[in-house]
Structure 1
């Protein structure tokens, strides 16, 4: 392939317009050389960052200045001709690629629609192809106005339950998150990808989904995983310090721990009950529970004791409108105390229990 073909292929792939054959060509090109992978990762990250911007006017010049400042290496004042040549080539390459991406984004930015469910609320929407989507508290769903015609791709930040409408086989339903892409092969599934959670999770109620890592993150070497009915796929993210300083190779291999669990149909409500105003905790830590409660009741929970955060709790709550009632029930089975001031909740350990 010549440079012009590569440029067009990369832009089509990054903007989700490439067909299966073109996708394979890009993957081969990226894997052919470390520099190819580096260029692609930086460009892909630029595009993803733009997608998560509010759909306002994009200043292309400023965007490129920021991009080149972040990605073109700084050298000492004693630059050799060879280094100057490489830097100039890098600037040219980044300029061409980012220019294409920015132009593509600028042409479509006014066509992006966003639906959001604020903390404390749940929102149900019907997409133009008939797909039903429930958005959990603190979630955002972006999609292009061409949805249902030229594509069936949405961008999720947070949690959503999808009931996919039948569509043309040539236009697959895709859900993009920051780290993973989910391809629907069935009808009903839950997807959880909050930015402040330490895991990605999808639960299939009916049908099947395929999950693969985006190439701009450390999961891109993950093979495509197929999740079948009544299965849960959970992928844990490493903490930054764990990723930068693994103790040994085994620890490094386990940084992105992948779990696929078969679950009984009676326990599905643990994963999708939220859309019916049901909260179900099955051995979750108080740290995990606190994040759910923050979004559900629009509060800020402070819990500084690490031992307290790791305490596990099981219980379910149906149509409970007050966080005070939830905390009272949790308090009855765990050694905690709490106080509420405005929308701030302080949870402390009760050593008397």
Structure 2
């Protein structure tokens, strides 16, 4: 298989036809699968070698495969999907579609109109069977990155519990887990309009590089200094002055574990900055953070529960 084509696939720029060609090639033999994984590892290592430019202390992690990348079946209701590592190529059927990504996994799909969607852990995307034919509406519970196919005649809407986003053709990220009372949108390219979930009165319009957050009714809009935190879709978890409590919440989703803290005062650490690879595992991440924020932790035999306590 042509290396340039494989790298297009890893970067998420391959066409639908190219994706299918690659997936068919991978499934043809174990030798092809091993070659694919080898190229993917080379690509990931090169990606991770990028230096993070920041005055703050940044945790640099070596690519040690401690837990490994958990690859399990994404629950896909009413769809057919080609499955390879964490990528899923969507084939539309005649039934309403719901795609659910369990904790500890990510997924990539291509919708009927050509829109590409990356879904983060514990996220669900739902859309009607006539998607792309007269309407382009999706419902999101969780986090997703969208590269929306341009269509001026049919706007693209992302509906969440708190807000909705209207676009024509653009790239943006939405994080809106149900019951979190938080909604965040980051615009990478194009223009988007933000609305309340229950009416069509525009709250604000985002331009390139702008971020909008709604935290239980308290809204803010700022210029985003970096796209680092959007690299979750590449298997990189980047934090910049993020509270320790928020990091623990994300780690629970990313690694499908339950984290318990013995004393709430251990959560009073609101300035954590670092760049982590998914493959390094949660143990390495917590151990690195604990160097500046003293705490100990233990993991049960099943590796699905972590207890954090005072050092």
Short-chain TM bin: 0.5 to 0.7
Alignment partner of 1:231 is 2:210: yes
Separation (CA, whole Å) in 1 of partners of 2:96 and 2:308: 41
Q: Deviations over 1:266-303 (max 9, x none)?
A: x2121x11000010111111111011100111101112
| Mapping 1:1-353, distance limit 5 Å | 111-167=95-151, 169-215=152-198, 223-237=202-216, 256-264=217-225, 267-270=226-229, 272-312=230-270, 313-341=272-300, 342=302, 343-350=304-311
Partner of 1:83: none
After TM superposition, give the deviation of residue 307 of structure 1 in Å. Answer: 2.1
Alpha-carbon separation, structure 2, partners of 1:349 and 1:199: 29
Q: For each residue in 1:182-230, what CA deviation from the matched residue of structure 2 results, as whole angstroms up to 9, or x when unmatched?
A: 1014410000001243421000011111111122xxxx69742111111
TM-score by length of 2: 0.66
Give the secondary structure class of the aligned counterpart of 1:332.
coil
Gaps of 5+ in 2: 1-75, 79-93
Please say if residues 262 and 310 of structure 2, whose CA atoms lie closer than 8 Å, have aligned partners that are also in contact.
Answer: no
Cα distance change on mapping 1:332 and 1:320 into 2, 3 Å = farther
Task: List alignment gaps of at least 5 residues for structure 1.
Answer: 1-53, 57-109, 238-255
Q: What's the Cα RMSD here?
A: 2.0
1:185 touches 1:210 (CA, 8 Å); kept in 2?
Answer: no
Q: Distance in 1 between matches of 2:296 and 2:201?
A: 43
Q: 1:21 matched to which residue of 2? A: none
1:170 CA drift (Å) = 2.5
Q: Measure, in 2, the Cα distance between the counterparts of 1:156 and 1:145.
A: 16
Output the CA distance in 1 between the equivalents of 2:249 and 2:179: 9
2: CA distance, partners of 1:147 / 1:282: 37
* Cα distance change, pair 226–330 in 1 and its aligned pair in 2 (3 A): same
CA distance in 1, matches of 2:181, 2:299: 26
- Equivalent pairs counted in the alignment come to 218
Q: Distance in 1 between matches of 2:179 and 2:238?
A: 20
Return the alpha-carbon distance in structure 1 between the equivalents of residues 132 and 247 of structure 2.
36
**Separation of aligned partners in 1, 2:180 and 2:262:** 17
| Alpha-carbon contact 1:320-1:326 (below 8 Å) kept | no
Measure how far apart 1:335 and its partner are. Answer: 1.7
Indicate conservation of the 8 Å contact 1:121/1:296, yes or no.
yes
The normalised TM-score by structure 1 is 0.59
CA distance in 2, matches of 1:285, 1:146: 42
CA-CA distance at 1:321 after TM superposition: 4.0
- Name which one, 1 or 2, has greater alpha-carbon Rg: 1
CA displacement at 1:263 relative to structure 2: 1.7
Evaluate the alpha carbon distance shift between residue 127 and residue 303 of structure 1 in structure 2; reply closer, same or farther with a 3 A threshold.
same
C-alpha distance in structure 2 between counterparts of 1:188 and 1:151, whole Å = 19
